[in-house]
Every structure is written in structure tokens, then in C-alpha cells.
Structure 1
Amino acid sequence: MTQMTLSRRNFGFLMVGAAAAAMLPARPARAASGLVAATFPGSWEDAYRRVLTPLVSAAHYDLTIAPAMAQDQLAKVQANPDNPAYDTLLMSPGQGAVAIEGGLVRKIDPTRLSNWSMLDPAFQGEYGPTVTVEVNGIAYNPDMVPRPTGYRDLFENPAYAGKVSWTGFESNTAVMAYTQLAKIYGTGPGDMDAVFRLFQAHPEHLRSVVDSTNHQMTLFQQGEIAVFMCSTNNVAHLKALGLKAEFVHPKTGSPAAPVNLYLAKGSKHVDAAYDYMNAAISKAAQDVLKLPPTEMFPTNRQVALPPGISAYVTREQIASLTYPDWTLINKHRAEWMRTFDALVARG
């Protein structure tokens, strides 16, 4: 049975590659070029390696998927912008804004992307296409805790005491949740002192602070935690593993983060980078990426939303989600990071 499942899966990806090859511009045979594409670790890494590698190979390029969190991508490119560790970067608005302001990425030429016109205009960024929108909220195990209505429940309902995990301010998912908490318990999204006071008043929440969402997902699978802040596709991944996991839109709003591909300014493989971008926004790729276990929201408007995604969000709802002020976040993020880390260390 396992062998049959794997064979069907591989066949599906081969078919995607064949379909994409027909959609890509005709190119003469050439020597392979070693494109290095940064991708978030975990389910993103697995999906992009399996789905995009055959598409890029169809254009006669070699592709290396390099897993790294957005903050780590940024740090590595800042360290050597003329010879960057990655040719393309995958980032949410926070790190993307820093990369743009620092001159680390270049504006793209949309005419070099044959699939550009398939994107909704909101996803056609001058520095690169939006490949998905991550919709964030709260994941919980219904066998261990009741359904929360929002962030306030997690601190004020004893049912969640000791069962909630958080991450530091390096995580975009975490910082978006913290700006929401700052609005609930403070004067606005920048009042992070109110959030720090909240954690000081609830030290049990500090005991399950870990370094990443991937770490939280492991703890969730092991039954060591019952609640964590995440995106809809994190929940989809857990469900695909056969786990009890549900997603909640907080009543104060669901933070959302467009995820963009960027072309590193110092890239030596520009042609390959464009083919990679083109593959990532193609109907062939997004028709696969929208399915379990990833369930990434498709930015290509020719891709129909499957039930697993439309149950959480529709195309019409995308504009009404909560989009954080990343200028504000970037201005204070390093300071918030230091304060929170010290708080966790004392806790």
C-alpha cells in the first residue's frame, strides 16, 4: 500500500512537470545553472523541492532548495550582498521591507514572467510576485482544550493554563499575534510593554516558549502542547498527518502575511531565477500546492480554491484580513526581541 501511494504521488509531480514544461517559453538547450532558492523549512521546503524542481528542470536549470527562516535569509544576504548565499529569497512583508530598504533585492521585469498576467493585481509586486497569503490564527487540539474565541481566552480561561506555546519575536507569526495582544491589553499594536506585563502576570505561558513554529508542531504532535499561533496551512499539515487539529479565526481579526519571492541583487543566475519565479506562480504548481498537506492559498487567479482553503478564507475575504504595520514592527522589533528573550530567560 505504501509503495502504491508513493508511486501515485511521484507520478502526480511528474505530470506537473510535464504540464509546466509545455507552458514555459521555448528555450535552447543549455548547461545547467546552479540556482539556490531560499525557502522556509518544513512543509514549505518539502513542497517546493517536490513541485518546483521538475518545473525548473524543464527549463534546463539545476535548482537547490535551501531551507532558512526569513530572518536568517536576511542576515546571510546582508553579510555578503555582492555574492549572496541565495539567488532568490522567500519572505513575508517584515523582512521583505528590510531587504528592499537595504538594496539587497532588485526590481523585477514582469515581461520575463509569462505567468505574470495570471496573478491578481494585488499580488504583482514590483520586487517580485506574491506566491501565497498566509492567514494566521490559533491552532488547538479539540480533544485537549475547548475552542478558543480569540487571544484573550488563552490568558483568562484556566482551561488553557500550561497548554499554550509561543515563539519569540524572530517569528512573523508570533509578532503578528503580539501586535494583536497589544491592541487588546494596551493602547495599540505598538504597545508591547502591555504584552510583556501580560506574560509576567502569566508565567505559565513562558514555560512553553520555543524557537520556531516547526518546534511547536512537533510538541503538538507529541501532545505536550494543545494550542499555538499558526497559519491555516500549518493546521492542514497536522491534519494530513492524522492529528486532531483545528483552526480558529480570532474574533479581533486574523493577521495575514503575503509571502513574496525576491531576486537577490547580487544573484549570478538571473535567468534561472526568473524561471523559478515563473514556475512558482504557474497554474501547474499552484494547483498542487493548494492541496493537502500544504494547502497554500493560490495567488494565480486561474486556480480554483479547494474546500480545504475556502473553508477558512475566500478570495473576497483576503482584503478584509488584518495586515500589520510592518514599518512600526521593523522599527521596534530588535528592542522587543531583546526584552522578550530576557523575560523568557527570567521566567
Structure 2
Amino acid sequence: MTEFGLNRRGFGLLAAGVATAALLPARARAAGSLVAATFPGGWEDAYRRVLTPLVSAAGYDLTIAPALAQDQLAKVQASPDNPAYDTLLMSPGQGAVAIENGLIQKIDPGKLSNWAMLDPAFQGEYGPTVTVEVNGIAYNPDMVPKPAGYRDLFENPAYAGKVSWTGFGSNTAVMAYTQLAKIFGTGPDDMDAVFKLFRDHPENLKTVIDSTNHQMTLYQQGEIAVFMCSTNNVAHLKALGLAAEFAHPETGSPAAPVNIHLAKGSRNVDAAYAYMDAAISKAAQDVLKLPPSEMFPTNRDVELTPGIAAYVTREQVASLVYPDWTLINKNRAAWIRAFDTLVAGG
């Protein structure tokens, strides 16, 4: 796991934020603790280092619990009356399932002092959007040319055997597959066209692995040169000193807002609100926008870094491709079974 090292500027910004949090009114400094589910890897490290001191200054103990969104869902579904987490971190796909199953609750925006600093698009009734993950294609410019889009990865021999894919359990993967379904089929739910594409290009089946984290490792080892990812993944690779670039697919870059949700049955709601407020604060997002995490800031008082602006500007956020998660969730289980069978047979 990579260290989330704060440079001098980042440390100063965080220290200023902690000082501000220490001035919160006494009602916010009641004793308590919370368990916050966070994506493993870079997210876990960044949130532990950046948010823990801010939440502590507000009077609460924060435990960061790393878990993929699908695993978060499974744990709270297993014990809905005694949830394993006070807050969940999810993209729209899993968020929709959590809402449908009554696992999260609507929030009271009045308890978030930084709520007004979010654009309306980021003010979710089930929790604030803390960043927007922009997805596309990571590639090693020393090994392959810049891909024009998803079609290129199957039709251009320059990429043969150098592209890695993951299964339909990954949000990043399923967003890419719905785009492929539109390119090679009749629409985003035409996965038969995608499965045929893989059968016609069996070299791509040999590089299907379990997760983006695993792909990152293979990329670092030079075993793959291309994989589907978010801009954050590319920023992380660059921070490690690797040759890595991001390509926006010609059909548009899929995007996934990431929200913090309040678990139904949370044991410390006040602490959960303090954590949410810290995550959308200028103090936190001024640090989280810096390498190696480079998270797109949703607090409009936070200026974009040149690195983030090179990927996406605030004006471009609305024009990104936002998948139909209702359609995806309806078909996802069947797609997972069909693709796993295809991979096993390949």
C-alpha cells in the first residue's frame, strides 16, 4: 500500500482545518465513535490520514474499515438491525441497492455545516457526494499507443495480450462493458454482443482478473499495459513514478459520483454527521485533491489542481457518461454468472 505522504502545503492545509474543527460548538464535541466503511487501497489510506484528525478535533473517534462497496452491502444486509458500519461509501450502483433494501437513511442537511458549499448535483438526499470518479482507460505510453476508445482495444493488434479486464462485480468494469454493448451491440444491456466479442478475441479472456487493485500490481510489474480505471488510479501510478496516462474513450468517459451514506441503525449518528462534514470540508478536500489521490473536489471553494483539470473541469462534469444503474442492477447478477462461465471456459 502506498503511503499518502502530505507535502508541506498539504500538511499546512490539514493543520488549519483541524484548528478550525476544534472551534466547533460544544454540542458537536460529545464523546463517541464511529466505524466508516471506505474503499480499500488509496481511499483507505487517504481517508484515515486526512479525516481522522478532523473528526477527532470534532470530538469523535474514527475507525476506518476498508471494504469494497459490494462487501459493504453484504455485511449490512447480513445484520440490518446491527449494522457493521455507521457510514457506507458507495457509487450509484450499490447505493441504489442500499436504498431499495432500506439499509441507509435520508440525511438532515442542517447537520452539515459545509452542505451549502456543494453544488445541488452533489447534495444527495441519502448523503453528500464526496468526489466524482471519472473512468476511462489507463495505458503505458512506453508499451502501447494511446487508445482511441474501447473498440481500439479489440481491433488494434497493438493491444493484443496487453489489456486486462475484470468481472461484472466491478463498477469500473461494468461501466466499460455497457459502453462496449452500445458500440458492438444494440444498446447498453446487449451483453450478448460483449460476450461474443470476448469469444472472438480469446486473448482478452486470458487477462481477466479479480480486481482493479490486482491490475494495478500487474501494471507495476509490467505484465499488462492497459486496463479500465479511474483518473485516481492513474494519479496513483504516476505518484509511484510509473509511466501511466489516461485516455478518455471517444464514446465518452463513464462517471460515478461517490457518496457517503448514513447506515440505518447507526449507533452514533452525530459522529457520522461529523465525518460527512469533514469529508466535504475545504480543509479535507484541499488535501485530497493533491497527489497521489487527486480526488475531484465537490466543495466549490476548492480550486482544481492542474492535474485534475487536465482530466476534467467542473464544466465538463455534467457532460460525462452516467450509466443507467437501474438497468445494470436489474441484469447484473445474470451478467456476472454468464461472464464467469465464459472466463472459466476460456
What's the TM-score, normalizing by structure 1?
A: 0.95
1:20–1:279 Cα contact (<8 Å) kept: no
| Aligned twin of 2:125 | 126
Report what 1:87 is aligned to: 86
| 1:209 shift after superposition | 1.0
**3-state secondary structure, aligned to 2:311:** coil
Give the whole-Å Cα distance in 1 for the aligned partners of 2:248 and 2:233: 14
1:28-47: per-residue Cα shift (whole Å, max 9, x none)? 7543x231000001100000
Deviations 1:202-254 (A, max 9, x none): 11111111111111111100000000000001100100110000000000010
Deviating more after overlay: 19-28 vs 155-164: 19-28
Q: Which residue of 1 aligns with 2:179?
A: 180
Which residue of structure 2 lines up, in the alignment, with residue 306 of structure 1? 305
**C-alpha separation between the residues in 1 aligned to 2:177 and 2:166?**
10
Determine if contact 1:24/1:114 at 8 Å carries over to the other structure: no
**Which amino acid is 2:149 matched to?**
G
**How many angstroms apart in 1 are the aligned matches of 2:144 and 2:284?**
37
Mark the CA change 1:110 to 1:14 in structure 2 (over 3 Å): closer, same or farther: closer
1:15 — aligned with what? 15
- Identity percentage over the alignment? 83
Q: Which amino acid aligns with 1:85?
A: A
Task: Tell me if the contact between 2:172 and 2:229 (Cα under 8 Å) persists in the aligned partners.
Answer: yes
1:145 aligns with 2:144: yes
- Whether 1:276 and 2:268 are equivalent positions in the alignment is no
Letter in 2 for 1:75: A
Q: Alpha-carbon deviation of 1:18?
A: 2.3
Which residue is equivalent to 1:34? 33
| SS of residue paired to 2:298 | coil
Cα-Cα RMSD: 1.6
Q: Which residue of 2 aligns with 1:333?
A: 332
Do the aligned partners of residues 13 and 117 (structure 1) sit closer, same or farther apart at CA in structure 2, a change above 3 Å counting? closer
What secondary structure sits across from 1:152 in the alignment? helix
Any conservation in 1 of the 2:132–2:258 contact (CA below 8 Å)? yes
Unaligned runs of 5+ in 2: none
Letter in 1 for 2:259: N
**Aligned CA distance change for structure 1 residues 178 and 309 (closer, same or farther; 3 Å):** same
Give the drift of 1:173.
0.3
2:118–2:298 CA contact under 8 A, matched in 1: yes
Which amino acid counterpart does residue 187 of structure 2 have in structure 1?
G
9 and 310 in structure 1: CA distance in 2 versus 1, 3 angstrom threshold: closer
Decide whether the 8 Å contact of 1:19 with 1:284 is kept in 2.
no
The CA deviation at 1:23 is: 6.5
- The count of aligned residue pairs is 342
Q: Distance in 1 between matches of 2:302 and 2:14?
A: 19
User: What is aligned with 2:108?
Assistant: 109
Quick one: distance in 2 between partners of 1:24 and 1:280? 16
Match of 2:189 in 1: 190
Please, which moves more after superposition, 128-137 or 21-30? 21-30
1:27 is displaced (CA, Å) by 3.6
**52-61 or 16-25, larger mean C-alpha shift:** 16-25
Distance in 2, matches of 1:144 and 1:173, equals 23
Are positions 1:321 and 2:316 aligned together?
Answer: no
Is it true that 1:293 corresponds to 2:297 in the alignment? Answer: no
Looking at structure 2, the residues matched to 96 and 235 of structure 1 have their Cα atoms a distance apart, in angstroms, of 25
| In structure 2, distance between residues paired with 1:346 and 1:226 | 24
Partner-residue secondary structure (3-state), 1:162 = coil
The residue correspondences of 1:155-166 to structure 2 (distance < 5 A) are 155-166=154-165
Residue identity matched to 1:44: W
Indicate if the aligned counterparts of 2:184 and 2:193 stay in contact, CA closer than 8 A. yes
What are structure 1's unaligned runs of at least 5 residues?
A: none
Partner of 2:68: 69
Secondary structure of residue in 1 paired with 2:188:
coil
16-25 vs 214-223, greater mean Cα deviation: 16-25
The answer to whether structure 1 residue 204 and structure 2 residue 192 are counterparts is: no
